[in-house]
Amino acid sequence: MLHALVVSAVLLAALKPATGAALQARAAKHVTLDVVNAKLAPDGFSRSTVVVNGQYPGPPILLTKGDSLSVTVNNRLTDPTMRRSTSLDLDGLFSTTSELYDEGSSFVTQCPIGPNASYTYNHGPIDQAGSFWYHSQLSIQYIDGFRGPLIVYDPEDPHKALYDVDDLTTIIQMGDWWHNTTLSPTMLPQYEATGIIPVSDSSTVNGVARYNGGPAVPWSVVNVVAGKRYRLRLINESARNVVTFNIEGHSLNIIEADGGNLVPHTVNALDMLAGQRYSVVVTANQPVANYWIQTPFVGGSAANNLNQNASLARAILRYAGAPIADPTTPMSAGPFTGSLVEADLAPLVPQAAPPADVNMTLDLEVIAGQAIWTVNGVSFLPPKTPTLMQVLEGASTEADFNVTENTFVFPPNKTIQFTFPPNDDDDAHPLHMHGQNFWLVKPNTTDVINTVNPIKRDTAAAGANGMILRFSTDKPGPFHFHCHIFWHYQAGLATVLLNNANATRAEVHPTPAWEALCPAYSALPADLQ
């Protein structure tokens, strides 16, 4: 059972945003996230975690399109086996230029929040709707549990007629889970020494999981009533694993990807990379019974962690009137037929990708046997002074940044094309863009270039078959662009896209609270950073 945050809301005039005009907030929502260490056992193995309000996953933040949002993060972390500073990324939400300092990327738009400190992130009226999530964006901290859903409901959802139920019970969060804390000798240090990502012990669905030899933790249950149609909001909160989602005997009608409405497209299963979100409509049109929701995952060799069993990543779809019991069918870990081909998705409102003004090829390479990932030969190191602060202090050209900051400076109001050549390693990298969606003109799964009606999303795979995307530099500011496999992120698979330094200086006016973050953080002893 999910417990939503008590969201305090001040209702303002319910104005419909007029195109071009400044948005008026529908309601001002405020939430408080207490980031704490708690002993939890999502899969039956008890460990210390970094979680919001003591729960994993964190409480859902529920908004309505047009709301403004402020989030106060109170850092109450005390456990020295994990990072004690923190920061918050509201993943997929676009901040306006004047709010860029509340975008949440550690060392790109802010310094982290130290222990016992608080910081409030402010977002103006949100002109987006769909399925989003939030997580720590400091190193690999979200692996320790700081992740949760953020849903923006749209009262004028064009797909409203397709479903009957869309509430807390239809949010489905998947996440890989490790028994060890990130800083334990077997996790980050071992990764850094070998380049081999520690294999997860389990994979949670709505915060519960099982592992080989572990206790029979009750599966998460999604309750349905025969005849009704459910909008399931699937969020892959993994830090590594790729999840395949399938419900026995039921088809999935995909209507949203990463906040973008789609032409409804029916599949039997879909693969989700870390950071990706989909809404699927599932009709309870089968005999009253229990059905497996199966979310087998891939993430390293299970032989390297005998706890791992992809078949044990599952939940139950239970019809009203069915016995309180497991489905009687065998558990399957796939492969499933009729899986989504990303290139088959089309946006509900077609929009052509503008012609590219600038073309760049981004080559992603790993240094064999080491935890070092590079983009065009450079492994990202977070700057000491956040990129945004450097820009406010005058940095304008690529030469103004250390080479390891991998900062690409783009002219304003242009369309940039990134081409990712086919990877020569095994991994598909879910590349995530902050601040905006990109046109996915050639997904990994096809050779066809589609500039006529590509989908727009914020996370897509650069895999064995390459990828091409385009984005616009309309919005001034520095935006993090990185792999959402946070182990790769930590190992340098990241860049910063800087649009229009002059306009950034003209439009960004940070608050004293933001300016105070860096001096406070630098004054902390290393173990509290």
381 binds ligand NAG (CB under 6 A): yes
417 binds ligand NAG (CB under 6 A): yes
* b/e 283-318 (16+ beta carbons within 10 angstroms → b): bbeeeebbbbbbbbbbbbeeeebebbbbebbbbbbb
Specify the stretch interacting with Cu ion by CB under 5 A; choose among 109-117, 141-149, 423-431, 441-449: 423-431
State which of residues 94, 163, 230, 297 lies at the interface with ligand NAG (CB under 6 A). 297
Binding residues with Cu ion: total (CB under 5 A): 4
In angstroms, the CA 469 to CA 439 distance is 5
Phi, psi of 418 (to 5 degrees): -105, 125
Compute, in degrees rounded to 10, the torsion defined by CA atoms 281, 284, 289, 291: -10
Tell me the Cα Rg of the chain.
22
Asked whether 93 and 259 are in contact (CB, 8 A), the reply is no
Binding residues with ligand NAG: total (CB under 6 A): 54
Least distance to ligand NAG, CB of residue 18, Å: 16
Least distance to ligand NAG, CB of residue 165, Å: 21
391 binds ligand NAG (CB under 6 A): no
273 binds Cu ion (CB under 5 A): no
Specify the stretch interacting with ligand NAG by CB under 6 A; choose among 126-134, 149-157, 353-361, 367-375: 353-361
Measure the CA angle with vertex 22, ends 263 and 14; round to 5°.
75
H/E segment holding residue 39: strand 27-40
State which of residues 298, 343, 372, 520 lies at the interface with ligand NAG (CB under 6 A). 298
In angstroms, the CA 126 to CA 345 distance is 25
Asked whether 200 and 243 are in contact (CB, 8 A), the reply is no
State which of residues 69, 151, 174, 252 lies at the interface with ligand NAG (CB under 6 A). 174
Specify the stretch interacting with ligand NAG by CB under 6 A; choose among 18-26, 277-285, 352-360, 512-520: 352-360
472 binds ligand NAG (CB under 6 A): no
390 binds ligand NAG (CB under 6 A): no
Least distance to ligand NAG, CB of residue 86, Å: 13
| Tokens read off for 390 | 């450097």
State which of residues 412, 453, 507, 518 lies at the interface with ligand NAG (CB under 6 A). 412
Least distance to ligand NAG, CB of residue 28, Å: 27
- Smallest CA-to-CA distance from 174 within 285, 299, 85 is with 299
Q: Are strands 415-420 and 467-472 parallel, antiparallel or unpaired?
A: antiparallel
Asked whether 136 and 97 are in contact (CB, 8 A), the reply is no
Least distance to Cu ion, CB of residue 386, Å: 23
State which of residues 56, 133, 211, 245 lies at the interface with ligand NAG (CB under 6 A). 245
Region of residue 344 (left: phi > 0; alpha: psi -120 to 50; beta: else):
alpha
- Smallest CA-to-CA distance from 221 within 319, 103, 328, 144 is with 319
- Among ligand NAG, Cu ion, none, partner that 402 touches (CB below 5 to 8 angstroms by kind): ligand NAG
Site for ligand NAG in 432-461 (CB under 6 A): 444-445, 461
Least distance to ligand NAG, CB of residue 171, Å: 14
483 binds Cu ion (CB under 5 A): yes
Specify the stretch interacting with ligand NAG by CB under 6 A; choose among 139-147, 173-181, 217-225, 279-287: 173-181
- Among Cu ion, ligand NAG, none, partner that 488 touches (CB below 5 to 8 angstroms by kind): Cu ion
Sign of the dihedral defined by the CA atoms of residues 12, 17, 18, 21, in that order: positive
Sign of the dihedral defined by the CA atoms of residues 285, 287, 290, 296, in that order: negative
Residue 512: is it exposed, middle or buried by C-beta count within 10 angstroms (0-12/13-18/19+)?
exposed
State which of residues 26, 179, 240, 429 lies at the interface with Cu ion (CB under 5 A). 429
Residue whose CB is less far from Cu ion, 255 or 485 = 485
Least distance to ligand NAG, CB of residue 298, Å: 5
| Tokens read off for 241 | 């694993």
- Among Cu ion, ligand NAG, none, partner that 309 touches (CB below 5 to 8 angstroms by kind): ligand NAG
| Tokens read off for 422 | 């086919």
State which of residues 462, 485, 501, 508 lies at the interface with Cu ion (CB under 5 A). 485
- Among Cu ion, ligand NAG, none, partner that 404 touches (CB below 5 to 8 angstroms by kind): ligand NAG
Residue 377: is it exposed, middle or buried by C-beta count within 10 angstroms (0-12/13-18/19+)?
exposed
488 binds Cu ion (CB under 5 A): yes
* SS3 of residue 256 by DSSP: strand
In angstroms, the CA 251 to CA 165 distance is 17
What does the longest C-alpha to C-alpha distance in the chain come to?
67
- Among Cu ion, ligand NAG, none, partner that 465 touches (CB below 5 to 8 angstroms by kind): ligand NAG
Asked whether 203 and 295 are in contact (CB, 8 A), the reply is yes
In angstroms, the CA 172 to CA 246 distance is 12
State which of residues 242, 269, 282, 517 lies at the interface with ligand NAG (CB under 6 A). 242
State which of residues 65, 240, 250, 457 lies at the interface with ligand NAG (CB under 6 A). 240
Contacts to ligand NAG by CB under 6 A: 115-116, 174, 179-180, 184-186, 201, 212, 236, 238, 240-245, 271-274, 295, 297-299, 309, 311-312, 331, 356-359, 381, 384, 402-404, 412-413, 417, 428, 430, 444-445, 461, 463-465, 474, 485, 502, 528
Contacts to Cu ion by CB under 5 A: 429, 483, 485, 488
